[in-house]
Amino acid sequence: MSTLRFDISTGGSREVVVEHVFNAGYTGRDTALVQEHVDELARMGVPTPKQVPTLYPLSSYLLTQTATIQVPHARTSGEAEWAVIVGDDESDLLLTVACDHTDRDLEVHGVAWSKQSAPNVVGDLAWPLAQIVDELDAFSLRAWVSHNGSDTLIQDGALGQLLPPSYWLERLTKHSLLRPRSALLGGTIPMLDGADQFGDAWRAEIADPQGRVSRVAYRVQALPPAWS
């Protein structure tokens, strides 16, 4: 269980308790690019999903708002995503930014395992989804990775590149998974060529056409090696 606090775009703030977490994967609207990504991962030894898009249920404690995460080694990285938070009932929906941190070495043994090994960090501002659904595709989505204090833009796109929340809300409802106190991360956009994803800090932003921004930022702290 995670307790999250958001500033609301229309004013005020609220707390939401989350008991169920899902990460969507391979969610690009351009199916040819998605298949290209699946094929690229397969060449790297990452197991391909049985169906595309796909869904990974995660432990609820992995959803957090924090300034520092701890990881077992240096080969982990984030991904900028949108997240929908379900509040008191299935119509109480908030949208915010998220960064899905993943163990890339563990990924070759199982994507679900790699996502279970690191947290999902969510943003500070949330929009009531019903009030923005018609302009959601125009929201920007960007991420930066930091190396020794120097930030590099690593993702730059728009939510219109991804399957919309409505797609996933319908799928979750069909499988009886859309419940109060749930969170869904909606997948990510491609990383820019040439950027080193293995940094010591990450930040991500979603911005609406009016200039309101939801931000997440955290440092990555590698733990000492095990005594084995």
Mean pLDDT, range 129-151, rounded to an integer = 97
Mean pLDDT, range 156-170, rounded to an integer = 97
Domain boundaries, given as residue ranges, for the chain: 2-222
- Residue 195 scores a pLDDT above 90: no
Peptide bond into 119 cis (omega under 30): no
pTM here is 0.94
pLDDT digits (tens, 9 = 90+) for 75-104: 999 999 999 999 999 999 999 999 999 999
pLDDT at 44: 67
pLDDT at 13: 97
- Residue 112 scores a pLDDT above 70: yes
Domain 2-222 falls under CATH 3.30.70.3340: no
Read off the pLDDT band of 32 (50, 70, 90): confident
